[in-house]
Amino acid sequence: MTVIRTDRFLLGVGLMTMLLALVVVLQIGGGRETPVAKQGTLELADFSWTSHTIIPLDGEWEFYPEQLLSPQQIHLTHIKPIMMQVPGNWDEAVINQGYPMSGKGYGTYRLIVRNVPQGEQLAIAKRYVRFADAMYLDGQLMSRSGLPGTSAGSYKPRNEPYTIYFHTEQAELEIVLQVANFDFRSGGIYNSIELGYASQIEKRTMIQSGLELFIMGIVVIFGLLFFYLYLRLHRDRIQLLYALFFLGFAVIVVTNGERLLLQLAPGIPFEFAFKMKYAAVYGVSVVVSMITWKLAPGLGQTIRRWLQLPSVLLALYVVLILISPFRVYSSIQEGMYSVNLLSYAVAFAVILHHYVMKKYESKSRAQLQLLITCIWLMLVNYVLGILVTWYPVSQILLNCTTLVILSVFAVLLIYQYVRAYDAMQRLTQQLQLSDKVKDEFLLLTSHELNSPLHSIIHLSRSLLGTSLRRTNETEIRSKLQLIRNTSYRMSNLVNDLIDMSRFRDGNMKIGVGTVDLVSCLSLVTEVLGFLATGKGIVMVRRLEPEARYVMADESRLLQVLYNLVYHMIGQHSHRELVFECERHQERVRIMLRFEAHTEQITPLGTEERPDLESMYNGSAGLSVAAELVSMMGGQLSVNDAAESIQIELPSAEVAGMENVIETAVSQEKLGEDLSGLPSGNASAAILIATTDLVDMEHLNTLLSTEGFQVSFADSDMEVQSLLASGKLPDLVIVDAMLPAVTGYEVCKQIRLEFSQVDLPVLFINMRSTPADIEACIKAGGNDFITRPLDAGEILVRVHTLLGMKRLVKEAANNEMAFLRSQIKPHFLYNALGTIMSLCFTDGPRAGELLGSFSRYLRILFHLDNSEELIPLSKEMELIQAYVEIEQERFGSRLQVKLDVDRSLYSCKVMPLLIEPLVENAIRHGVSKKIDGGTVRLYIQKYENRVQVVVEDDGVGMSPEQAASILDRSHTEQGIGLQNVQRRLKHLNGQAPVIQSEQGHGTKITFEFPYQ
């Protein structure tokens, strides 16, 4: 027995269709309650007027074909009119000569209405007359639309509805209507002309116009909204189609019905208005078809092309409308009505097919139902629009259908966006969850990945940096073995991470077979033996003969054992790790333990998996191990203190196995003794301040191999002690995470005594965020590296800092040598000038001066330009030689007094630092005074500094001259003071102090460190 399931939705659509059809049939074929005009006269004597009555002036009107007659001309003419049915086309009429009248032409309609209410305000409403008309009432022109004419050139089409209002004084009305049409293939009065009380007609017109304005406002808002969404949402084509649909629908509303466009814009051309109207009517159909095909794909290409044919024809017709005049495209308009109707029918059929076949695609059933309702209403609305033009169907019914269309469409769009929003929320939650899982996963595994990776890098670097002459084959093989085992362990870790992803996806595959535990445990102890030896752990295997074989996946069991042993070794040191295998009935128990414990063990089966990671302190390897053991039909358990781990697996029956007790002790060494590392060539000394033993070992091996002298400090006090010992390192590497006092504070203490050039500081940071970098720079650091430490990066940064320090120092020394080279010619010019002047006046005295000058040159030439500091005694010899020459020149006018502590003669001073000041005091102070004067030089020690004062009682300077004397642009007193200023700033960061008073002399004071 076949059960037919009735779809309530389709049943509802069918019932609504039949109900609408019944309403339309009743409106078209129902009995008339109003009288009909006969032989050009409408008799209302037997009609009962009420306040709600609007009478259609339908029936037989007098018609004068090919005549445009005024009421007066009609009364005088002898032309016999014919009877024309209104509403109707005149091309069905026969003119006087017996020939049918053409659709394009002109004529005059006349109707007499008798027994109308007297003394009342009445109105006549005209809606649709093709395409120009003028209405006369009782002989007076009341209104017109366009300009009727007897030729295409003399008439102007408009087709605008209007209402005339009048006050009746008599019981009979004469209505004359001139009509002309030279554009459409048929002409005449297409809709009923209505007579009624002015208040009722005005009320109906206002309701109709207001309803159309309301609908237009809604659809325009929708259209602009979707156009905005199209521009904002990555140019989604469906949003553009929605926008075109609503904007086109708005044009349809304002160009039909009351034709508000023509009323609101009376100056708009007829051609433009009707191009808008018909382009919108047929363009909206094309857009509806495109929306349908986009929302309901899936039909075959051949069927799809045939079904899209009506839409293609409509699109071509829209193009024709836009490029041709009204009389051209209107000639095939009635045929396009059928194509347009077919287009809606095809769209409805396609959506209905998808619904019946349950091809919902990405849409829900309710969404497809709303879409079917929209297209069904569009189809109904289009049919009603045609019927309203040709038959007495209520315009309000058409407008109500339009409102329902908009309402259903709005519900559809709201439903779509609610679904989209819900989907977005679900995706957002999934992404947040995935992001959280990813962060936890990365946090869980980053350390486990970094540790073996950097172990390989460090071992490789150590092996590459070791001289082959000092390394035997055993040592090389030992290190290569370490690299191999570490790489093997890292490969297993990567496999663990891949397996965790497979567990989540549910596609992990296990192949169970017989596995020999002896071979498995032997391989595990060999691979992980170097780790055990490094932590002082001895691995011992004890297996019962009947517990040697288990049912498991061999590769997965090895993976489990690697993970468990690695975890156990990581938790303890200097102990004995025992592997015990025992059989209990049909199960084999594998125990990994350090000592016998009696704590309650916790099974890690299916029930406990959610807490697995917390129990294992975030170990990815143990998580994978528990999952793998469970998939092999076993169970993994761990005690609360993590002192032992137990695995239970199904046993396998294989004969012949004796007790095995074997101790596997790895012979590999974890690292070399630091004392055995090469000491290098002592090219640079590096101080490392850290408490991390791993970093100390790694940095010592790396930097010692490169030839650096490495020393260590584990506190700020030890750093200060090493710096105060006098053996200043070339570079300091500071761990930012030093205990007690942070590395930043240590760097700040260093910067109190040493600049970034004198002693560079390299920070070791845990992170490299902008905040960490800023803290490093503010503390006075030169550079930073982050953990995990990379050997290549360390060497690059160390060499860079040391190279920059060397280059800055060389640049400063070269600048000092250049400044001193500028001073020497200056002395020579002055001395030779003095001797030359004496040669012409006093030859013997000139010879004495030459002797003093030769002594001066001998001292000067013994100064090395590259020598940074000289004893003060050499500087004093130079000053005395120069003073002797100047005293010979100026005689009694020059007095020089030297007050110098001779115990300071051994202290170090920059060459030519004091002599230029003495020279300036003589040449620019005393010598310019007529009576001469005295120059005094004081050199005394104050605590750890040496004070130098050069004073004269010469002409002195004004405050302005004293302020600008050290300006580079000031060259009046030569380059001596400027050079001294720059060299003093390089030495101790201070400039000389100048005190001067015009007419009383000048005093220059400066200090430098005693050394």
CA 458 to each of CA 81, 204, 512, 566, 700: distance values in angstroms, whole numbers, following the listed order: 116, 94, 39, 20, 12
Both tokens assigned to 300:
């075959």
Spatial CB neighbours of 665, under 8 Å, sequence gap ≥ 6? 529, 533, 538, 539
Task: Provide the 8-state DSSP code for 101.
Answer: P
The CATH architecture one would assign to domain 473-664 is 2-Layer Sandwich (3.30)
CATH domain 674-789 topology? Rossmann fold (3.40.50)
Confidence bin at 491 (pLDDT 50/70/90): low
Annotated domain spans of the chain: 32-192, 265-426, 473-664, 674-789, 809-1009
Query: Binning pLDDT at 50, 70 and 90, where does residue 879 land?
Result: confident
Residues 6+ apart with CB under 8 A from 578: 540, 541, 542, 591, 592, 593, 594
Instruction: Report pLDDT for 253.
Output: 87
Whether 473-664 shares its CATH topology with 809-1009 is answered yes
Q: Residue 629: which of 738, 546, 556 has the closest Cα?
A: 556
pLDDT greater than 80 at residue 590: yes
pLDDT digits (tens, 9 = 90+) for 660-717: 333 333 323 323 333 333 333 347 889 998 877 767 878 888 888 888 888 888 888 8
Q: How far is CA 1002 from CA 512, 587, 913, 976, 997, in A?
A: 103, 106, 18, 15, 7
Q: Rounded mean pLDDT of the chain?
A: 78
Q: pTM of the full predicted structure?
A: 0.46
The string of pLDDT tens digits covering residues 757-803 is: 778 999 887 656 555 677 788 888 888 888 777 788 888 899 988 88
DSSP conformation class of 267:
T
Dihedrals phi, psi of 130, to nearest 5 degrees: -90, 130
Which residue type sits at 1007?
Answer: E
What the block records as the tokens of 422 is: 């819900």
CATH architecture under which domain 32-192 falls: Sandwich (2.60)
Compute the average pLDDT of residues 56-70: 92
CA 682 from centre of chain: 51
Cis preceding-peptide flag for 760 (omega within 30 of 0): no
Best CA proximity match to 895, nearest among 842, 853, 932: 932
Q: How crowded is the C-beta side of 181, counted as CA atoms within 13 Å?
A: 26
Give the C-alpha separation, 208 to 396, whole Å: 7
In three-state secondary structure terms, 704 is helix
Selected residue with higher pLDDT from 903 and 861: 903
pLDDT digits (tens, 9 = 90+) for 714-761: 888 888 888 877 678 889 998 876 766 678 788 888 888 777 877 899
User: For residue 986, how far is the Cα from the chain centroid?
Assistant: 49
Q: Can you list the positions of beta strands (E) in 392-528? A: 513-516
Q: Give the three-class secondary structure for 896.
A: strand
Is a pLDDT exceeding 50 seen at residue 466? yes
pLDDT at 973 over 70: no
How far CA 889 is from CA of 126, 886, 894, in Å, comes to: 130, 5, 9
3-state DSSP of 377-431 = HHHHHHHHHHHHHHCCCCHHHHHHHHHHHHHHHHHHHHHHHHHHHHHHHHHHHHH
Name the one residue in this structure whose structure tokens are 């090895």: 558
Residues 911 and 874: beta-carbon distance below 8 Å: yes
**How large a percentage of the chain has pLDDT more than 90?**
14
What's the CATH fold of domain 809-1009? Heat Shock Protein 90 (3.30.565)
| Phi-psi domain of 180 (left: phi exceeds 0; alpha: psi -120 through 50; beta: other) | beta
